[in-house]
Chains A and B, each alone.
Chain A
Amino acid sequence: MSPYPTATETFWFLQEHPSCSVERYEIHSPEFDEIRSSVFSSIQLLMSTGDEASIDLAVRLRRHLSDWLTAPVPIEHIASALKDALPEFDGDRYGADVSMRLAHAHAIASDIRTHESPIRTRLRELLNAELNVGDCRIFCHRSSTQHYQSLLLDDALLISHHFLHGLKDYRQTGPFSTLIKVGPMRASGWGAIPDAVFTAPRQQAVIQVLWSRCGDEPGFPYSAVPGPVLHRPPRSQVINWSIGGDATAGARTLGETPPVVVDELQHFFLERSREDLRKAVLVHISTEFGIAYAPHATLVAFDPGSTRNAIREMVAGDELHEGMYVIRALLGDVDLGGVRAQHGHFSRQWKQRLEDEFRNDATALIERLHRAGLQLVHLRSALEHWRRPPSTVIHAPQQIRHFKILIEVLGMKFDGAAPVRGRGEWWMYAWNEIRRSRGEAIQAGFQGQDIVNEQLIAVLTNLLPRIKADAAQSHEFVISMPATQALQGGVHFNRVLNIEDGFLVPEAQLRLIDELGHFDQWRV
C-alpha cells in the first residue's frame, strides 16, 4: 500500500481547509541574547584564525548555536556544551578574546541553568493542548527529537509518527491538524523547512515558536507558478522572558559589548554557500552510517525487486530507492605495491592498545595526546568513540594527522622481527585500512571507474542467485570476487534504509561512509 495520501484525500482536505492559520510566538530573552551573541562572535574570531583546531571548534559551536536556535534545547545542555567548548588544558589556546567570550556565555548559562528555557515552557503548553485535541506533527532535525520528547512527563507520548524531518516525510504524511516548528521559516540552511508547508499544506495550522531576531527568510514560501494563497498572515505574540536576579545583573555587568544584531542562521548559510560544497543526498545504510552522493551521480546498485538488470548503474537522486542495495567494491589494491590490509586487521590491534591505556589511566592518555598535538575539544568522548570495535566502518579520527598522533602515542609499530613487511610505517597500513572501510577509492587510477563498474556488473550478474539469497538474509553482506576474475577483492552490499536530500557536502566527502551525525554539519 502506498505510504502517500491519495490525491483526492489531499484535495478533500484543501476543500475543507482552504487556508492554513499561523500562530507565531517570538520569545525575547536578554540572557539568551547575551549567550548567542558571545558564541557567535567567538565563532567569527575562531574562523578568522585559519588554525585547524580553531576552525574545528568554530564548526562545532556553529552546529550548537544553530541547534539552540531551531530546537527546544534545555539551558542545561547549552551550559554543558559551552563548558565542553572551553579548553581543558591551555586556557588561552584559542586566544584570550575567545576564551573570555566563551567563559562569559558559559557563566550566564550556568547561572540560569536551573530555570527552564521559555521556549520549552511555551512548547510544553502548546504540545499538551495539541496532543489532547488533535493530530499534530513536529518538523525538526532527527537529532533534535529528544528535546521534544523530554518536554513531556511521558516521553512515549511523542513517537516517530509525530516527527517530520524533511520534504520526503512531509510528502508522505496524510492530513493532520497542527504543525509545530521551532525557529524561523527558511528554505535553506539549518532548520530549513519545505516551501510546501505553505504552498501545499497538509495541516490546518502552523505553530511557530522562535527566539527573537530569528527572521523568516524573505520570499518564503517560493512558488514557481503563482498560485492560490493557502496560508493566512501569522498572528504574532512576543513573549519577554528574563529571570532577573544575579544572572541578569551578571549579564549587565558583562554586557559592555551589546549583543550583536545579526541573523546567525542566515549568516551561517551565506558563509557555507561560499565554501566549495556540492549538493548531495544522504543514503542511510544503517541506523548509524550513511554515504553522501551527488544527486546526479551514478553508482552500482542492486534492486532485489527487479526481474531484469537487477544489478546496474543508477542515478543516486533519481533511481535509487529504499530497499535497494548500494554496492561498494573494494578492489584492486593488490597491485598498488604493499600498503594494504584486510578489514579490521590493524584496527583490532590499535583499538586493543587504546582500550588498555584508556582503562588504565584515561586522563594521562588524554594529556599525552594533547601534548603530542591532538587537541580536539571533546577528546575524551572521541577516544571513547574510537574504542568501539570495527563494524561497517572502523571508528577512528577523521584526519590522518590526528590518527598518526594517536598511533604514535599508543606506540604501535612493527616489531624488529618484521621490518621487511612493507615500505611504510605501521600507522600507514592502519590508516589505509580505515580509508578502505570508509569506501575511499584507493584503486583509483588502477582502472577507469566506468570499466570497473562494467566488469563488476557483469561478474555480479553471474552471481545473482547467491546475492539474492544473501539479501534475503541480511541488510549487509560481502561477496568475494571469484578467483578467476581480473578484479579481485570484496564487494560490500548495504541495504538502503533511507534517503535524505538537502545536503551540501565537500567534494572529498562524497561516496565515503561516515556517521550520520557527522553529516548534520552539511545539512541545508
Chain B
Amino acid sequence: MASTVHRTNDEKGLLHGTHLVDGDRGVVQYKEGDGSWIDVPAWAQFLIELGYYWSGEHARRRIALISLPCQSTGAGLIALGLLRNRMERPGADDLSRHFNRISELASDGDRRLRLVHRSRPRQRYVPWHVDADGVWVRQINVDNPVSRTIAASTAAEWHFEAEPQMQLAAGAVISHRQIYDAMIPGQAVCLTENLSRSDSAICLATEVLGEAAAQEKYTSTFFGDERHSVSLAELLTVHAWSSTVTSRVLLWNARLNRMDRAGTPHVVVADGHACFQRIINREEFQSADIVCVFHRLIDRTALEELGAKIGDLRQWYEDVPMAAETLPNGISMLTLARL
C-alpha cells in the first residue's frame, strides 16, 4: 500500500506537522517531556529527514553545521534519520567487519578483548590463532580451557564483552518496527535482517557534558502514541541506553573522548558546538562526514570560535549551495564539501 502524507494543522492552527496515515505502518506521533502527543512537528521531521537523505557515502567528505534557535534533541533526530536510512539497505550491518576484527586480533595475538558466545553467556574466550580451520578462540579463567573455531558464517553468534551482540537469535528483531517504518513517508520499509543486526556506520557524539546527560535528554522525547510510546534514546539503539542487545548507533562520549565500541563510522552527528570543536580534528573521524547541530543561545566567544573554525575549514572545503526556503523558520544550515 502506498504511503500518503496528510498534513494537519496543530491546535493553534500554526504549525504544519507530519501525520502519517498508512494502513500498514500506522501513525507516529511525538511528545516532549510531560507534554501532549502531537503530530511530529515540522522542525523535528525536517531533521529526521535531513539524516535520512544525507547518506554517508559521498565521493567527497562533507561537513554540515545546523544552527537551531533553542536547545533540542536535534542531533539525536538526525542520527535517527541516518539510522532509518541504513535500516532499509541490504548488507547495512557489521557482520563481515566483525569476523575480520576477530581474525585480526587472533592473527596479531592481541588477547585483551574477550569474546562471548550467545548460548554460553558466562564463558569468556580470547582470540587465539588462525589456521585453515578458521579463527580459534580459547576459553579463559578455567582450569581446562576449551578452544573453539569461529567461521564467517558463525561469527554473528559471538560478540565482544561489553559490546552489543552482532545479531539477535533467529526470528528476533528490534522492537518498534512500525515506528521506524512510519517515520519516513513514502519510502521503503526497514529490512527484517537489519532489524536484528548491529551496525556501526552512524555515530552520535554527545554534548561535552557526557553520556549520562545525553541519555537524560534523549529519554525525554517520545515517538508513538498513547498506547505505545518509545523514547528517542531507545529508538537510537545506543548500546548502554537500549533494552535490545544489538545496536545500530555508536556513541562517542565527548566528555571522556571515548567511543562505546570499536567502529569506523561513515557519519558522525555532533551534539553542540563544543562537541564539534572536540571531534572535528580527531584522527578516527577524518574520513567520516560530520553533521553538527548547535543552538545559537551561546556566548559571543563560543560563536566566534565556531566562526573561526568554519573559516579555517573553508581553506579545504567549499560551500554546497542549498535552498534556504526549504528550512523551517529558525533553522539555518551550512554545508561544506571537501575540495
Nearest chain A CB to B31 CB, angstrom units: 9
Query: When the two chains form their complex, are residues A223 and B67 in contact, meaning their CB atoms are under 8 A apart?
Result: yes
Q: Could you tell me the distance between the alpha carbons of A436 and B145 in the complex, rounded to whole angstroms?
A: 62
Q: Which residues of A contact B220 (CB under 8 A)?
A: 2
Chain B, interface size category, equals: 35 or more
Stretch at the interface among A188-196, A205-213, A283-291, A404-412: A188-196
Is B209's CB within 8 Å of the partner chain A? yes
Stretch at the interface among A14-22, A125-133, A255-263, A458-466: A14-22
Q: Which residues of B contact A224 (CB under 8 A)?
A: 65, 67, 273, 303-304, 306-307, 310
Beyond A6-B32, A224-B306, is A11–B300 a contact (Cβ under 8 Å)?
Answer: no
Is B324's CB within 8 Å of the partner chain A? yes
**Residues 1-38 of A at the B interface (beta carbon under 8 Å):** 1-2, 4-8, 10-12, 14-16, 18
**Residues 10-61 of B at the A interface (beta carbon under 8 Å):** 10, 12, 14-15, 30, 32-35, 38, 41-44
**Residues 361-375 of A at the B interface (beta carbon under 8 Å):** none
Q: Could you tell me the distance between the alpha carbons of A261 and B42 in the complex, rounded to whole angstroms?
A: 50
* Interface residues as binary, A207-246 with B (CB distance below 8 Å gives 1, 0 otherwise): 0000000000000001111111010000000000000000
* Interface residues as binary, B263-300 with A (CB distance below 8 Å gives 1, 0 otherwise): 00000000001100000000000000000000111111
Is B301's CB within 8 Å of the partner chain A? yes
CB nearest to A230 among chain B residues: B330
Is A415's CB within 8 Å of the partner chain B? no
Query: When the two chains form their complex, are residues A167 and B299 in contact, meaning their CB atoms are under 8 A apart?
Result: yes
Q: Which residues of B contact A7 (CB under 8 A)?
A: 32, 43-44, 68, 70-74
Q: Could you tell me the distance between the alpha carbons of A225 and B302 in the complex, rounded to whole angstroms?
A: 12
Beyond A11-B42, A224-B67, A230-B330, is A199–B32 a contact (Cβ under 8 Å)?
Answer: no
CB nearest to A8 among chain B residues: B41
CB nearest to B208 among chain A residues: A318
Beyond A225-B65, A228-B329, is A8–B38 a contact (Cβ under 8 Å)?
Answer: yes
Q: Could you tell me the distance between the alpha carbons of A5 and B32 in the complex, rounded to whole angstroms?
A: 10
**Residues 290-339 of B at the A interface (beta carbon under 8 Å):** 295-301, 303-304, 306-307, 310, 324, 327-334
CB nearest to B295 among chain A residues: A200
Query: When the two chains form their complex, are residues B324 and A228 in contact, meaning their CB atoms are under 8 A apart?
Result: yes
Q: Could you tell me the distance between the alpha carbons of A6 and B44 in the complex, rounded to whole angstroms?
A: 12
Is B69's CB within 8 Å of the partner chain A? yes
Name the one of B30, B65, B69 contacting A10, with C-beta atoms under 8 angstroms: B69
Query: When the two chains form their complex, are residues A279 and B43 in contact, meaning their CB atoms are under 8 A apart?
Result: no
* Interface residues as binary, A366-394 with B (CB distance below 8 Å gives 1, 0 otherwise): 00000000000000000000000000000
Query: When the two chains form their complex, are residues B329 and A318 in contact, meaning their CB atoms are under 8 A apart?
Result: no
Beyond A200-B296, A222-B304, A228-B324, is A11–B330 a contact (Cβ under 8 Å)?
Answer: yes
Query: When the two chains form their complex, are residues B296 and A10 in contact, meaning their CB atoms are under 8 A apart?
Result: no
Query: When the two chains form their complex, are residues A18 and B32 in contact, meaning their CB atoms are under 8 A apart?
Result: no
Query: When the two chains form their complex, are residues B70 and A227 in contact, meaning their CB atoms are under 8 A apart?
Result: no
* Interface residues as binary, B64-104 with A (CB distance below 8 Å gives 1, 0 otherwise): 01111111111000000000000000000000000000000
Q: Which residues of B contact A194 (CB under 8 A)?
A: 297, 299-300
Query: When the two chains form their complex, are residues A195 and B70 in contact, meaning their CB atoms are under 8 A apart?
Result: no
Query: When the two chains form their complex, are residues B299 and A502 in contact, meaning their CB atoms are under 8 A apart?
Result: yes
Q: Could you tell me the distance between the alpha carbons of A502 and B274 in the complex, rounded to whole angstroms?
A: 17
Query: When the two chains form their complex, are residues A200 and B69 in contact, meaning their CB atoms are under 8 A apart?
Result: yes
Is A348's CB within 8 Å of the partner chain B? no
Is A278's CB within 8 Å of the partner chain B? no
Query: When the two chains form their complex, are residues A227 and B332 in contact, meaning their CB atoms are under 8 A apart?
Result: yes
Is A264's CB within 8 Å of the partner chain B? no
Nearest chain B CB to A509 CB, angstrom units: 19
Query: When the two chains form their complex, are residues A8 and B43 in contact, meaning their CB atoms are under 8 A apart?
Result: yes
User: Counting chain B CB atoms within 10 Å of each CB, which of A167, A225, A319 scores highest?
Assistant: A225
Name the one of A2, A5, A199, A279 contacting B301, with C-beta atoms under 8 angstroms: A279
Query: When the two chains form their complex, are residues B296 and A195 in contact, meaning their CB atoms are under 8 A apart?
Result: yes
Q: Which residues of B contact A182 (CB under 8 A)?
A: none
Q: Which residues of B contact A195 (CB under 8 A)?
A: 296, 300, 303
Query: When the two chains form their complex, are residues B208 and A196 in contact, meaning their CB atoms are under 8 A apart?
Result: no
Nearest chain A CB to B279 CB, angstrom units: 16
Q: Could you tell me the distance between the alpha carbons of A170 and B307 in the complex, rounded to whole angstroms?
A: 22
Q: Could you tell me the distance between the alpha carbons of A227 and B33 in the complex, rounded to whole angstroms?
A: 28
Q: Which residues of B contact A227 (CB under 8 A)?
A: 67, 296, 331-332
Q: Could you tell me the distance between the alpha carbons of A224 and B295 in the complex, rounded to whole angstroms?
A: 11
Query: When the two chains form their complex, are residues A14 and B329 in contact, meaning their CB atoms are under 8 A apart?
Result: yes
Is A514's CB within 8 Å of the partner chain B? no
Name the one of B15, B72, B296 contacting A15, with C-beta atoms under 8 angstroms: B15
Q: Could you tell me the distance between the alpha carbons of A171 and B42 in the complex, rounded to whole angstroms?
A: 22
Chain A residues with a Cβ under 8 A of chain B? 1-2, 4-8, 10-12, 14-16, 18, 167, 170-171, 187-188, 194-196, 199-201, 222-228, 230, 279, 318-319, 501-502
Q: Please, could you name 23 A-B residue pairs with CB atoms under 8 Å apart, sorted by A?
A: A2-B33, A2-B220, A4-B71, A6-B33, A7-B44, A7-B74, A8-B30, A8-B38, A11-B328, A11-B330, A14-B330, A15-B329, A18-B329, A167-B298, A196-B69, A199-B296, A200-B295, A200-B296, A222-B300, A225-B66, A225-B67, A228-B324, A228-B327
Excluding A1-B34, A7-B73, 17 further A-B contacts by CB distance (< 8 Å) are: A2-B220, A6-B33, A7-B43, A7-B70, A8-B30, A8-B38, A11-B42, A11-B43, A12-B10, A15-B15, A15-B328, A188-B300, A199-B69, A224-B273, A224-B304, A227-B67, A227-B331
